[in-house]
Structure 1
């Protein structure tokens, strides 16, 4: 069986994946069962407030929820999860009960009333889509990942309240699950005609385009692990992404903002609805903002306060976020509107109602990031490194037993390491780790010193039988890297990963472990293609960003000894650049060289066509879309120096 699945990774791009026949997963061991049972005893499962909130205000929902594209292929299929997850089912042995509880909450779907004139459609994608009723139409906040899911949500609310146009879209921040579906509910033509306003925080466009362009290939591959893209949807596979069930699989679009919001307390009135914004840059995203609705004492929190501990550093890879700044902005939120707010809602999970509930909620959201920052830095200043800190740090009972600060997405363990990384970098201070050997080199020596593979397998199996799965994972990683052809080593490592996944409270942690086990047992997929950015994203790239991307593709060996200049003139924007290759480095500048080896002239639209591979340089030159003057061989050589990345690089094997 070899079925193609297209997925969209949050903050990334679309990837065509081969979903292959899977080696049957193994059951939870008694040690895992005991560990998960201990969670049931440790946390306040009798507290059902979240279940009341997650179902409160339900207006309507379809009996089944499968959303398809124009070709009839499913881009969102909640039925995959509904067949085994429901509120009345107890957690299976193979799922951490706290994560199971989270999946029971995030699987709640349909059209919900938040408060007067504010509605959400939840469970139609990883994120929520919010509709604010104006005088004549809808103001939409964060239109999901895929055009198809956003349109289905709009159809649902219009079916209930009658057809109303979308008059504005507001992007809360620059991650793809908050803007990718815009093209499903409005057209660029209507935006250009002024019929639809698009608002976003200052810097949105730059960050939406650039965040994953430079390192997009590596991030995309690791995101396969973080979101468990190839995992079966069942009790031993993918059950929840922490913020929602999973990601939809349509091709995300990008409609650029018509207005940037640049300062806190900036007021905007659209279609009779007054909104006041709070800028929160550098928190959950580099460009992000909250929104206050004074008429209804309602507060939209973007992704700055969800019903989980969020990531300070996402496992797919990104720049480390500022936990201290995050806590600062949450405190500012409390000070600005804490005495008035009656409902707070956001782009994931369910709302909280009542001032008496919201303020304690905000204080704990603020304090989870402040605590993680302060205590990680305290231990860092006592001389402990990131790994040691992650093993030592524990939450106070007030945060530990609070459902909204549990680690369904971020975790205290990896967030504390992220704080260490932000201040201290990768080096932990121990000289042995300054120039240590990489895994492939050290693994062979480890096996030799530990008595060889056969002896290591024997001892590791004994440790596995004692439930020491973290240790088995550490040891067997070396066995696999020393001998990647060893089926026994890969199977035992997969078994350890699997049990660690079954015990994980974090959706991404579970996915990472189970995806690792999947690839050890089934191999790394060799089929399927990748698209490192959607078409709209490519077309939104500025020239400088494009040239930065070309720079990281320059192959050192192929560029060795080369020294040349290429002038690039864009006929539509009237901007001119020089690309120079020297010392195996590509530089670009707007101070154009008077004499270049070759000059090319074209429109940015043609450049985008070349990037999208709908035309190549030779064809563009032949058709006249590109004018060339000078030595064409220089351009040919340059294009031959650029690497094309292999998406399916190895992770759990060398």
Structure 2
């Protein structure tokens, strides 16, 4: 039963009492090997990450208006030690310590500054002719406001305060625009006092991403970012891309202008910006830009100090590693040798024309390696898991830490590239329609001679340091017998060691979160970020109804037929929802001539429903919804949209 809850299991099994494992001999050996192989004492990144530091927020603590903590770096003081503990990959430890440096930094003297270490992403502030230009105002309004306050008190205090003239959203991921309400107001934008500039396609991508598949993506993101694991040397240390996600309010403001797919030049507050389109690389809507006057290149999230995800573990559409490499090469050809500093919306800058060119060339080669090695091996017959497992890291990854797999990995990026070209199937008919795990697992247990023998084999694999094999065996047993506390504990032990050894922050977080879930001590009380009304109201109405259709219970509603016409007076929109044959099909902008029922409701009221501030039945009683036609048919249809449970199980049935 897929929805077997951890609470039910915990009621009979004291999983929380099971302690997390220490590093095994095999793990300590693996950590020592990577420490021996990599130049971990290379001081260049350490120098760059601290260069130009002017001030910091004491303790790295940021509160919201109600006094709730949305950011706190104090639990991460363990990262002050230079020496990695044996429970953390020493290369990831190095990256985590660099990401832990927080504060306000001067990038180009008197011209460009960055706020780093107060969210997953980085906010850049650029001096224009008469005011400030802000790039990527973080994920949360609270962290953006605190970062701007630090800047104002440190930099603006030396001169008279200047206004923000423009905000640039580099791409369509919320950690790069969600904090905009913390630094400017909608009234300022509406009055034309602040320009908001974004790449083409931004509005649709920014507001619709994760809406249709949001429940599952959000659940997996808790594992990927380690949000359900406490910080510590046996817990969450970093994401690889940045410290962690803030937990404040995600807002949104519509761009006032966009840059086309052809790129081009814009003058923003008297400063010339050269844009290059990067849509289809790290995000479907993205650009990079160069400021000739400051010889500064902003690589947004196309080039950071890690190999990025071609397919993120939380789930997303597969990205194009080949196109990614070509965009970076275009940056190199256009601005290589000119740019004297490269900065991004994650991590720290790189200074020096030669160093910037090397950064771009190495990043280009890393993504090209992912793409070409995948196709080279696939065209020789290697399947998804075979090609990833037999490929050594790219030569550049042995010398350039910025290309290592701290966030994306060579392993899962190659699998993603295979998926992009060939899909999920490896071509073997035995794998075309396999039994689901809950059906096959008991058969594997029986084949092994029973639960005790399979458990013993898993424990033998753990003792031998063969943790991948142990996890494969023990996962079968857990899915066959989810209440078997010994199987759960053993599988958690295997996940512990794989997490400790992982160089990727995302892999570490996922393994350790899985172990915590098996033990019943995952910190499930931690909630995700709160989307604000400004964000929800920006979701296109068509996307809203497409998301509603994903909740339609086709099994129970197979016999239902009808058309439900929605009229939204405040937004002057109409949607006709056609239902029949177990399918619900919204037709945006269509008015049906003879609907089963017509529902008149303001879009603002729909936003209330999405925000959880109102329910349809209560709205009907209050008169906030007007229903003409077959009222009972509407009620029957609406009842077939049960709420989605955001805490479904992942590592147990």
TM-score bracket for the superposition, by shorter chain length: over 0.9
Deviation sequence 1:44-73 (CA, Å, 0-9, x none): 123211111111111222442111111211
Change (3 A) 1:62 1:98: same
Deviation at 1:170, TM superposition (A): 0.5
Residue aligned with 1:85, SS: helix
Which residue of 70, 77, 87 corresponds with 1:75? Answer: 70
Aligned residue in 1 for 2:415: 417
Map of 2:221 onto structure 1: 223
Q: 1:600 aligns to what? A: 599
Contact 2:366 2:394 in 1 (8 A): no
Which of the residues 256, 259, 262 maps onto 2:260?
262
Instruction: State the Cα distance separating 1:619 from its structure 2 match.
Output: 4.2
Counterpart of 1:155 (choices 136, 149, 159) is 149
Q: Point out the more displaced range, 326-335 or 58-67.
A: 58-67
What is the DSSP-based 3-state SS (H/G/I as helix, E as strand, rest coil) of the residue aligned with 1:234? coil
Counterpart position of 1:130:
124
Does the CA-based 8 Å contact 2:230-2:523 persist in structure 1? no
Q: Return the match for 1:114 from 86, 94, 107.
A: 107
- Alpha-carbon distance, 1:21 to partner: 6.6
How far apart in 2 are the matches of 1:335 and 1:463? Answer: 51
CA distance in 1: counterparts of 2:61 and 2:523, whole angstroms: 27
The alpha-carbon deviation at position 435 of structure 1 amounts to: 1.1
Q: Write the distance in 1 (CA, Å) between the matches of 2:529 and 2:635.
A: 24
Deviation at 1:529, TM superposition (A): 6.9
The correspondence for 1:546, drawn from 517, 540, 544, is: 544
Distance 1:188 1:469 in 2: 53
Residues 568-577 or 27-36, more deviating: 568-577
Q: TM-score, normalization: structure 1? A: 0.94
Q: Does the alignment pair 1:351 with 2:349?
A: yes
Answer whether contact 1:524 1:648 (CA < 8 A) is retained: no
| Count of residues in Structure 1 that have an aligned counterpart in Structure 2 | 633
Kept in 2, the 8 Å contact 1:126–1:246? The answer is yes
Q: Aligned residue for 2:628?
A: 629
SS in 2 for 1:64: helix
373-382 or 456-465: which moved more?
A: 456-465
Matched residue, 2:458: 460
- Whole-Å Cα distance in 2 between the matches of residues 634 and 528 of structure 1? 39
Change beyond 3 A, Cα 1:611–1:294: same
* 1:523 to 1:452, Cα distance in 2 relative to 1, 3 A: farther
Please state whether the residue corresponding to 2:543 is helix, strand or coil: helix
2:201/2:285 contact within 8 Å kept: yes
Deviation at 1:392, TM superposition (A): 1.1
CA distance in structure 2 between the partners assigned to 1:557 and 1:523 by the alignment: 35
The worse-fitting range, judged by mean Cα deviation, of 551-560 and 521-530 is 521-530
Indicate if the aligned counterparts of 2:114 and 2:122 stay in contact, CA closer than 8 A: yes
Instruction: Report what 1:7 is aligned to.
Output: none
Q: What is aligned with 1:141?
A: 135
Aligned partners of 2:17, 2:290: CA distance in 1, in Å?
A: 48
What is the alpha-carbon distance in structure 2 between the residues aligned to residue 154 and residue 536 of structure 1? 20
Does residue 360 (structure 1) correspond to residue 358 (structure 2)? The answer is yes
Query: By how many angstroms is 1:264 displaced?
Result: 3.5
Say if 1:527 and 1:79 are closer, same or farther in 2 by CA, change over 3 A.
closer
**Which residue is equivalent to 2:641?**
642
Tell me what 2:9 maps to: none
Counterparts of 1:613 and 1:110, CA distance in 2? 36
User: Could you say if the C-alpha distance between residues 470 and 213 of structure 1 is closer, same or farther in structure 2, counting changes exceeding 3 Å?
Assistant: same
Consecutive unaligned residues of structure 1, counting only runs of 5 or more, are 1-19
- Partners of 1:576 and 1:253 lie apart in 2 by 26
Which whole-Å CA distance do the structure 1 matches of 2:100 and 2:524 have between them?
Answer: 33
The aligned residue for residue 6 of structure 2 is none
Q: 1:33 to 1:221 in 2, by over 3 A?
A: same
Aligned with residue 98 of structure 2, among 105, 128, 138: 105
Contact between 1:620 and 1:626, CA under 8 Å: does it hold in 2? yes
Q: Secondary structure at the match of 2:273?
A: strand
> In the TM superposition, what is the alpha-carbon distance from 1:550 to its structure 2 partner?
1.2
From 305, 308, 312, the equivalent of 2:306 is: 308
SS in 1 for 2:564: strand
CA 1:531–1:354: 2 relative to 1, 3 Å: closer
Aligned mates of 1:372, 1:336 — CA distance in 2: 24
CA distance in 2, matches of 1:24, 1:411: 29
The separation in 1 between residues aligned to 2:284 and 2:396, in whole angstroms, is 29
In structure 1, how many angstroms separate the alpha carbons of the residues matched to 2:625 and 2:473? 56
**TM-score after normalising by structure 2:** 0.94
Residue equivalent to 2:11: none
Shift in Å, 1:607: 2.3
1:42 to 1:530, Cα distance in 2 relative to 1, 3 A? closer
2:372 to 364, 371, 374: 374
Rounded to whole Å, the distance in 1 between the matches of 2:257 and 2:619 is 35
- 8 Å contact kept, 2:366–2:396: no
Superposed displacement of residue 466, structure 1: 1.1
Aligned-residue offset at 1:109:
1.1
Q: Distance in 2 between the 1:446 and 1:119 partners?
A: 58
Question: Which position in structure 1 is the counterpart of 2:5?
Answer: none
Secondary structure at the residue paired with 2:555?
helix
Alignment partner of 1:299 is 2:297: yes
| Worse-superposed segment, 612-621 or 507-516 | 612-621
| 1:13-47 C-alpha deviation (Å, 9 max, x unpaired) | xxxxxxx9775322101110110000110111232
Show the counterpart of 2:514. 516
Assess if the C-alpha contact under 8 Å between 2:228 and 2:522 holds in 1.
no
Q: CA RMSD in A?
A: 1.7
Matched residue SS, 2:59: coil
Q: Secondary structure at the match of 1:167?
A: strand
* Shift in CA distance, 63/532, structure 1 to aligned 2, threshold 3 Å: closer
Q: Which residue of structure 2 aligns with residue 342 of structure 1?
A: 340
Residue 162 of structure 2 corresponds to 164
Whether contact under 8 Å (2:239, 2:505) holds in the other structure is yes
